[in-house]
Structure 1
């Protein structure tokens, strides 16, 4: 199973991840990424991968 990891220190708060994969990502009060589902379902993986591609700071990764 894959796991989503976010580098909050690198996040610039663009919010593309939340727009693209709202089941997996959220933002805190400062706009910084929060992973709400570290092990997304297979159904959510295409959206997660799209969020990784859209992240302007490249602060999101998938690990095994």
Structure 2
């Protein structure tokens, strides 16, 4: 009877740990993108990874 409870707790801990890793990875990627954007803005250049924001004059 105790084995399923222990296995369930271990599975829950692993799931929470995986969720924390995914959320931290997304947060780090967003922070890196903002830093890249700020660095390029200081240089007066356009972000080459964001072509959707570039519009041709008509």
TM over 0.5: no
Q: Which has the higher helix share?
A: 2
TM-score band, normalised by shorter chain = under 0.3
Task: Report which structure shows greater RCO (CA 8 Å, sep ≥6).
Answer: 1
